[in-house]
Every structure is written in structure tokens, then in C-alpha cells.
Amino acid sequence: MLSSKLLRFRDPQLAAIWEKVRHGERLSKDDGLALYATHDVIGLGRMANEVSRAKSGDSVYFVLNQKFEPTNICVLSCKFCDFAVKKGAPEAYEQSIEEMLSMLNPNIREVHITMGLHPDWEWQYYVDMVRRIKENFPLIDVKAFTAVEIDFFAKKFKKTHEEVLSELKAVGLKTMPGGGAEVFSERVRKLIFNQKIGAKTWFEVHRKAHRLGIQSNVTMLYGHVETIEERIEHMMKVRDVQDETGGFLTFIPLAFQPGDTGIKTRNNFTSAIDDLKTIAISRLMLDNVPHIKAYWVMLTAEVAAVALNFGADDMDGTVGYERIAHDAGATSPMQLQKEKIISIIHEAGKIPVERDVWYNPLHIYTAEGTTVVSKMPYLNSVPFYAEFEPSSGDVKVAPLVPHVFGEFAKEGKVDAGPMSLMDYAEQQDEFDMLDYGVAVNGKAYSVLLYSHYEWSKLSGKRIGITGETSTSVNLLRVLLEKKYGVKDVKFERLHLTSSQNDYTHFDAVLLIGDEALRRHKLGGLGTFLNVYDLAEEWHAWKKMPFVFAVWAVRKTVAGDHREAIVEALEHSLAFTKGKEVELGRDHAKRLGMTREELGTYISAFTYTLGSAEKEAIDTFLGEVYNIVTM
Amino acid sequence: MLSIIKEKVFANERLTREEGLWLLKNGSLLDLAEMAEHVRYRHNPQAKVTFVIDSNPNYTNVCNIDCIFCAFYRHEGDADAYTYTVDQMIERFKAAEKRGVRTVLLQGGVNPAIPLEYYTELVRRTRAEVPGIHPHFFSTSEIIGMCEVSGLSLPEVLAKLKEAGLNSIPGGGAEVLSDKVKKKISSKKGTSADWLNVMREAHKLGYKTTATMMYGHLETDEDVVEHFDVIRDLQDEYHGFTAFIPWSFKPGNTPLEKIIPSYASSTRYLEMIAFSRIYLDNFQHIQASWFSEGKKTGQMALHFGADDFGGTLEEENVHASANFVHTTTIKEMVDLIRDAGFTPAERTTLYDIVGEYAEGQYPDCVLDTARLDVHINADVIMPTIPAGMQN
Ligand code: SF4
Ligand code: SF4
């Protein structure tokens, strides 16, 4: 179940739909149509906002990115496109790779590249483009080429889609934009996109990309000649493919702007209500897509701002071209743009989180007077958050993996939450510990070492360790050194995004949380023969529980905020007691777990810290300091 | 607290000042909207949105008040200072009448060179010579200016204007009715007591007026609630306010711009619309302003408690002077209302319905009198306009 909240609706039809949504049931086409037909725009928004909060808390993501369109020369001439021209036309332009490199702002994190289908450019040119950006700017991730372009490359250079994609991936392509999807309807395609690839090829390309570990976005261009039914069908097609691959990061509704296309719409722009409805309905229909983007460049900033309360959790961050980006002192347009985006997100009552291409948080911008609580995004944390509704509007929730929480806490940006034990140990002067946390007495199921070797043979080997927390990593070190006497192990941090990890490089791999559970359900990890549950290892050794995290609140948090946090936490724990399985069902389903497995899993954990847990904390920290000082 | 407030609002009970302040500080956008919709449909049960075909000319830009949020005024002797004669104004009104305009919202600077007779004459001749036009003339600052020029008391000036045929006046110039704030942004414009005083005396004489608020500058949430509180109290006395109209300050070519680097987003505006709807339980109409906030924000406001879309502002010199980009045609305005899911209904200044327009129908007037056909600015930096001169 997603929410126990009963919402009030002006349109009684929405009440029935909310019952489905809050019980984690999928919406049908008729539901989608009813949502579009409703006059109860606020009721619709409330539902979408609840769903968005269950997924992303109060966080709204943005990325500093730059857009490149290296050429406007295109072999096609799509009806609605007022960008493309033919070779030799006066407006035609072509950019060299050097030109692009000189225009790149080194402070961005993502470069977005799409372009016309050029009649003469060589395959090597595209490969070099990606490679040289990556070589010159290792911190900037390349998001490039729509399915239309990939398909064009395959045909022109006589390669399969896989070949095109893997060659690009090898030189640094990280993700793909979601353009070229338009509306997945043959009727509409014949009317205005007749030169473009259809839904079938578009999805083919994205499926293949997802299988190769290239995640992507998907757009929907609305507000031209499509029907409401076609919009809903579009969303449902996306939902089906997402069930198969799980590779879509973001759904992006794009409001059509007729410009010079000659396609007539009533007011030359979509209605704000249609915009808000489309955002909200996307959020409600696409239960399996992590993010919905309010792309302000097409939506206008005024609508995008409000969309943040209608189900959108991403605001893009396009900074455009900046030729003179290198003088560090001056306030650059990029800085202004970023401040504007941050202030729009603050005013929407949300938390701005700057992200990378995969939505890993890089920075968090906490507004003055706001207290941010970290939400551990794992299945075993459901009891903390199922009913976590602080009574103060200034206490916000941001989903952060434990390690990132620890880092943001050090910067003073996040103030409370279940803190990884090691992070708490490091910051105990600034934080108070509450009597709550995450502990197990025996198996934890989700802290697993996958290994080619037995414990005793791991000496001198390379172990890939999760980047999500340092507690499990230290537990591993303690077990290796103190329990098994194994030394000289080489640890290497894994990427936070699992699709970016190649586990075959390692002799053993430590995974935690949902990723560990998911892999376990998939029948293990690659060819690793041995699987060790670290909590079980600890328990067998010390005859003690193991504490992964403790709830901590920064000492300087205002009294009323602290009270609101404790109250919300205690309420949620009391509410979920006995209902954990029902509440965690949707989350578990995403990991492929059955009801029974979920029951066993959840019942392994203790959320209140008693004297046994506190003793276990001291014992563990003692062992850690012991190896550090040895 | 939220559940207590919700219970009260849904039981149609009045919120206290403390509850109001809590709600403004802690209520989420959608919590506010949910309650605002309830109150909106209590006062106006039909899914109808009204608008008025009006014109917004100015008779003078000479002003001695120097408000720091105003980009419009000039001093006597400035090269681009102007003051029109009564004849000139009547000519313009006649032209407007021909185009189908029903109301003229007339305001100007506070120009000490203009005698009281100018104003009474203007009203009298409008009534006599341009009967199709309803005069909605003179802000509180101008009326106080008339008292100073003529040496008459406020009730006397108001009575003279009334006798000439004026029966409604615009509610601009209220900004935020907190002396703390007023002193900072318009030190010479009088205290909040002055604004309220003009309104009270006018209501006593049977005038109808609007009430406004310009936020987004130096005010706190406490100031905002104080503002709502005083106008709610005054409304209890005479029920002379037809509508409440909030708008946000947009730093344009004004001295205040230097103090306020950025300004409120559409979220804050919708919160203000919703909050005013909830708190001002004795106001029947809340007006959304497509004009100062943008067309799309105007549309959204209709689902956050507003039931009126304001005027078509068929002509407006004030804003044209400041690179103003929000213009519309009457046809577009009707479509904007319709596309937001409501039936467009044309009204008079006093909120009597003149006609409702089904899909494909439009008012019987010159539909596309708009000047510039600039459509909404898609840039993140929203357009800047001075807000001090609206109704
Ligand atoms: S393929 Fe893309 S760039 Fe080329 S005409 Fe079509 S939309 Fe325009
Ligand atoms: S707002 Fe009115 S009173 Fe103030 S300076 Fe401008 S014209 Fe004069």
C-alpha cells in the first residue's frame, strides 16, 4: 500500500481512483480518461503529489546541463519541425568537435546532444564527439542521440542497433534522451510525423539500450492533433516496456509550441490546466517510472513551478550555451539560472537536489528555517516512513542512500534520519541519538558478500564495495581481519548506479539494501559461488545483534521541529506494526519478492534499540577502532 | 493545527488571525487549494468565470508621491510628462465605447496642478456623453490629493464625485496594509489608515470598491495576515468590497528593484489567491490577474479559489511604458477561461452578468483590439511590470 491517507475530492470518480492508487493498483485506460475529464484539478494534483512524495519525498531534482545541436542539416523534413534545414540553406550550420569543446562549461554535469540527420557525416565523427568530450571533461556525462538518430546511424553505416549503441557506450555514452517519441500512435504519425520511425522501432532501440546498461528517458509531445485517448495509450505503452526493462529514468511531457510549423492550435500554447493534468496523470499512470520532469523551457517557468506540486520531481536545468564560462569570479548566467531554479523549488515547498545523469544526488540546497530528514530508500525502512507526516510544514523528507546522507550531514545540510552507524560515530558531537534504528539478530538478507573465494582465501584479493554505506564496509573489514585473520585486501568503491558496475573485475563484491535483495532474487551475482550474509557472520561470531543505522537528530534542530520528527516517527512505527507486509508489498514487488519472502525479511529487523543493541554498537565500534589503530 | 483549520473551513467557520498565520506559514499549496475551492464554490456555486471588457487609460503621469515600486510617474516639467484635458479624455472614452468597452478604469498620478472641478467634470461628462461606459475612476491617493487641492474634507469630496455620477472606485494603492511596510515602499503615500479611511467613507456613501494587495517586496507573513484582517473587518461593516485582487510585485524599472533582487514565483501567487479565498470569508469574488502574473498563471488561479479573470485592459499606457509583454485579445481571454474548464461570463464593474458564452461564442465587440501579439514568455526570467497602478 502506498498511503493510508483518505483524500477529499470534489469529483466522486476520483475517490474510486484514489482507492486503487493508494493500494498500489495499476490504473486502467478508463481511469486515465476519467482523470483527463475531471474538473477537480486540485484533487488530481493531490493524488499525483502523494505518489510523487512516496517515491521522491520532497526532493525536486535538477541537473546543470548544456544542450548541443551540432548541426541543423537533416535528410528528413518532419512537418512539425522548424529546426531542420537542407544542406546549402542559408541558416544551415555544422559545428566541429573543437567548437563544441570550447563551448562546454566545465562546471556542468551533463551534456545533452541531439541533432539533424546529416547526409555526409562519417560514423567516426559521432564516436569522436562522445570520446573527446569524455576525455576532456571526465566529470561531464554524455546523454546523446535519440532513437531516431541511432536508427539512422544503423541504416547509414550498416550496423545493428546493438553495434551502434555499444560502440558509443565504449567511448562514454551514459544515457539517452527521450526525444523522437512524439505520440505513439500510427494515426498521428501518418498525419504529422510520417517521415519518422514509429513506436515499434523507437522502443526497439530503447530496449536494446537498456539491455546494454544505457538508461534513457521517454517524452510525449502533446497539444497538437492527438486525442486524449492517444495520450493515455502512449503512457501505457511506456509502462509495458518499463515492466520489461526497467531502463527508463524519466517521463517528460512536452507541451507543443506551434511556432513556424503551420500546425494550428487555439491560443498558440497549451492551456496551463492541460499542462498540469498531463503531468499529474503521467505520474499516476506510470507507476513504474521513477521520475516525471517538468521541462520548464517548453512548459514555461510559471507552470513548471506549480507542476512540482502536481507530480513532477525534476526541473531539468538547461543552461544553454555559454561561450565565456571560464572567468570564475563573476556571477555567470549559469549561476543565476541555478539560483532561480533553486528559489522556484523552495517556493514550491520542496527541496532542490542537484543530481547527475542517473539521479544520484550531488548537492542539496536546504532553505533557511527548513529541517531535512533523510529517507533511507530501502525496503527494510518502510516502517519509518509509511506514515511519516511531520506536523510542521518546514520539516521535509529527502530520499538519500546512507553514505550520501552522512556526507550531506557533515555539510550541515541534512539534519535527521536513520544514520549509518559509522557516520553517526563520526558526528556524534553534533547529533543526538534516538532510541530507534535498524538492527538484526541473525541474517539480514540484504548485506551480502558475493565471492569467488572462501573467507580465508580472500587475502590479497580485490573486493568491490558498495558506495551506499560505510557501516557494512567496516563490518566486512572487521570480519575479514578479526574473525578470519585475512589481511591485504584491496577495496574498490562501486558506482552508486548499479547499471554502471562491471562486477566481473572483482574477486568478491559487497552489496547492500535493495540491490542485494534484487540480485539475490535474480539467482545471485554472475559466477560468484559463495554468498555470505555479513550480519549472520557477525551474529555467529559475537552472539549479538548488529546495528546498521541509528536515528539521529542534529543537536541544533529547533525544538518544535525535533518534536515533529519524533512524533511522526513514533506514529509511523506504531501505525505500521503488524502491517509491514501490506505496506511494503509494492516495494517488494519491484524487487521480485513474494509476500512470504517479504514477511521473513521484514520480521528479521528490529527498529527499537534496547540495551542489547546498544551493547552491540559499542562492541562493533570497538572492533573498528581496533583495526584502525592496529 | 491543519486538521482543526480544515474542519473549520469545511464547516464554513471563520479563521482567527493565529490560525490564518499558521496556515500561511505551514499550509502546503494543495492544502490551501483544497480549502479555497470549497469556499469558492460556496460563494459561487457554478463553474463560471467572469470577466469585464474594460479599458485602462491614464489622464496624467505627473505625480508628487514617488513610490519606490512605481515605474510610471513623472515630475511636472519632465520631457515626457503629460496631462490630458477633459475633452481629450471624453474623446478616448467614446472611441472605447465604440469598440465595445463597458468600463473605464481610470487612474493617474497625484498631480497638484489639477483642480477638483476637473475630476467632477470628467465624471459628469462621461455619464452624460458616453452612457455605455461605466466610470471606475480614481485611486485613494488621488482622492486624498483632491482633498488637499480643494481644501474640502474626504466625505465632501466623495459626495461631490458621487453627485457627479461616480459610484465605484478601484482599490489600488493598498499595497500591504501595514504601516511598517508602507513606510518603506511609499513613504509619502499616507498610512494604511488613509487607504482604509477613504474606503470606509466611500462604502458609507454607498460606493462599491475593490480591495487589493501587492505582495512580494518587504512584507512578512504577519504583515500579510494583518492586511487581510483589516479589510475583512471593514467588509463586515458595510459590505462595500466587490472583490479582492492580489498581485505580486515585479521589480521592473523601479528603485525597489535594487532592494528586491528576485521576486515571488507562481506558487506564491496561487497561495495568495487560495489564502485570500479562505481567509476573506465575506468576499464574494476573488480576482485572478492574467495581466500581472501571466496567462497560464491566471488560468491556474481559477482552480485555486479565484472566480473572476479581471479586465481585458483594452488599453493601458502605464504598462506599455515599461516593456510590458502580457497582452491579450478579448477572444483569447474568453478562450483562456474556457480552456481552463469554465464557462466564460461577461460582467459589469458591479459584477452583474451581461452574457455567457458557449464554445465558439464571443462577446459582441471588436475582438482583437490587442496591440502587440506577444505570447507568453517562456523564459525563466518572467517579464517585469510595475504593479502599483492596477485596480
Ligand atoms: S528528424 Fe528531427 S531534425 Fe530532422 S526534420 Fe525530423 S524532427 Fe527535424
Ligand atoms: S504609484 Fe501612484 S501615487 Fe505612487 S508614484 Fe506611482 S503614480 Fe504616484
Give me the half-sphere count of Cα atoms (radius 13 Å) on the Cβ side of residue A215. 19
Q: Determine, yes or no, domain membership for B24.
A: yes
The answer to whether the Cβ–Cβ distance between A300 and B25 falls below 8 Å is no
pLDDT band at B250 (very low <50, low <70, confident <90, very high): low
pLDDT tens per residue, range B29-52: 999 999 999 999 999 999 999 999
What is A580-612 written as a DSSP string? HHHHHHHHHHHTT--HHHHHHHHHTEEEE--HH
**Within this chain, do residues A333 and A425 fall inside the same structural domain, yes or no?**
no
What is the DSSP secondary structure assignment for residue A479, as one 8-state letter? I
Determine the pLDDT at residue A291.
Answer: 98
- Residues A325/A105, Cβ–Cβ less than 8 Å: yes
Question: Rounded to a whole number, what is the distance in Å from the CA of B48 to chain A's nearest CA?
Answer: 12
**Within this chain, do residues A200 and A320 fall inside the same structural domain, yes or no?**
yes
**Within this chain, do residues A99 and A147 fall inside the same structural domain, yes or no?**
yes
Name which residue sits closest to atom 1 of ligand 1, judged by CA: A76
Packing angle of the helix pair B29-43, B266-279 (nearest 10 deg): 50
Q: Could you say which residues from 37 to 96 on chain B have a Cβ atom under 8 Å away from some Cβ of chain A? A: 37, 41, 47
Q: Report the separation in Å between the CA atom of B70 and the middle of ligand 2, taken as the mean of its atom positions.
A: 6
* B303 closest CB neighbour out of A273, A347, A391: A273
What H or E segment, with its residue span, contains residue A549? strand A546-554
**Within this chain, do residues A531 and A606 fall inside the same structural domain, yes or no?**
no
The grid coordinates of residue A58 equal 520532497
DSSP H helices in A396-478: 402-410, 421-426, 471-478
Residue to mutate, B59, B76, B189, ligand 2, most ligand atoms under 8 Å from C-beta: B189
The grid coordinates of residue A603 equal 520480521
Tell me what percent of the residues of chain B surpass a pLDDT of 70. 79
Residue B325: pLDDT over 60: no
CA–CA distance, A117 with B120 (Å, rounded to integer): 70
What H or E segment, with its residue span, contains residue A353? strand A351-355
554502471: which residue's cell?
Answer: A500
**Within this chain, do residues A353 and A495 fall inside the same structural domain, yes or no?**
no
Determine the pLDDT at residue A523.
Answer: 78
Determine the pLDDT at residue B233.
Answer: 96
| Of the residues A328, A362, A396, the one at which a domain ends | A362
* B376 closest CB neighbour out of A45, A276, A300: A300
Determine the pLDDT at residue A568.
Answer: 95
Strand partners, A420: A549
Q: Determine, yes or no, domain membership for B373.
A: no
CA–CA distance, A550 with A576 (Å, rounded to integer): 19
- To the nearest 5 percent, what fractions of chain B are helix, strand and coil? 40, 15, 45
| Of the residues A362, A384, A408, the one at which a domain ends | A362
**Within this chain, do residues A592 and A483 fall inside the same structural domain, yes or no?**
no
Q: Assign B374 to helix, strand or coil.
A: coil
pLDDT band at B383 (very low <50, low <70, confident <90, very high): very low
Q: Which of A502-516, B81-95, B210-224 has the lowest mean pLDDT?
A: B210-224
In one-letter notation, the amino acid at residue A161 is H
* B34 closest CB neighbour out of A42, A267, A347: A42
Determine the pLDDT at residue A265.
Answer: 66
Q: Is the CB of A180 under 6 A from ligand 1?
A: no
pTM for the structure as a whole: 0.91
- Residues B40/B273, Cβ–Cβ less than 8 Å: no
Q: Determine, yes or no, domain membership for A3.
A: no
The grid coordinates of residue B257 equal 528593484
Q: Is the CB of A76 under 6 A from ligand 1?
A: yes
- Return the exposure string of A120-141: e unless at least 16 CB atoms fall within 10 Å of the residue's CB, then b: ebeeeebbebbbbbbeebeebb
pLDDT band at B247 (very low <50, low <70, confident <90, very high): confident
Q: Is the CB of B66 under 6 A from ligand 2?
A: yes
The answer to whether the Cβ–Cβ distance between A348 and B265 falls below 8 Å is yes
**Within this chain, do residues A395 and A457 fall inside the same structural domain, yes or no?**
no
Non-local (6+) Cβ contacts of A523 within 8 A are none
Determine the pLDDT at residue A468.
Answer: 87
CA–CA distance, A500 with A489 (Å, rounded to integer): 23
**Within this chain, do residues A523 and A550 fall inside the same structural domain, yes or no?**
no
Q: Determine, yes or no, domain membership for A550.
A: yes
For chain A, which ranges sit under pLDDT 70? 1, 259-268, 318-336, 628-630
CATH of residue A573: 3.40.190.10
What H or E segment, with its residue span, contains residue A433? strand A431-440
Determine the pLDDT at residue A259.
Answer: 66
- Return the exposure string of B228-240: e unless at least 16 CB atoms fall within 10 Å of the residue's CB, then b: bbbbbebbeebeb
When divided into structural domains, chain B yields a total of: 1
Determine the pLDDT at residue B185.
Answer: 59
**Within this chain, do residues A306 and A343 fall inside the same structural domain, yes or no?**
yes
**Within this chain, do residues A27 and A164 fall inside the same structural domain, yes or no?**
yes
Chain A residues with CB-CB distance to B336 below 8 A: 267, 271
CA–CA distance, A593 with A581 (Å, rounded to integer): 11
Chain A residues with CB-CB distance to B382 below 8 A: 301-302
When divided into structural domains, chain A yields a total of: 3
DSSP H helices in A300-438: 301-307, 333-347, 382-385, 402-410, 421-426
Domain that holds residue B63: 19-367
Determine the pLDDT at residue A502.
Answer: 87
Q: Is the CB of B69 under 6 A from ligand 2?
A: no
CA B291 to chain centre: 10
Q: Bin B193: left if φ > 0, else alpha if -120 < ψ < 50, else beta.
A: alpha
- Average model confidence (pLDDT) across chain A: 91
Residue B255: pLDDT over 60: no
Q: Determine, yes or no, domain membership for A22.
A: yes
Q: Determine, yes or no, domain membership for B2.
A: no
The grid coordinates of residue B67 equal 513610490
CATH of residue B102: 3.20.20.70
Domain that holds residue A594: 367-440+546-629
CA–CA distance, A558 with B259 (Å, rounded to integer): 30
**Within this chain, do residues A30 and A67 fall inside the same structural domain, yes or no?**
yes
Residue B390: pLDDT over 60: no
- To the nearest 5 percent, what fractions of chain A are helix, strand and coil? 45, 20, 40
| Of the residues A542, A576, A601, the one at which a domain ends | A542
Q: Which atom of ligand 1 is nearest to the CA of A83?
A: 8
Give me the half-sphere count of Cα atoms (radius 13 Å) on the Cβ side of residue B223. 20
Q: Which of A443-452, A603-612, B179-188, B355-364 has the lowest mean pLDDT?
A: B179-188
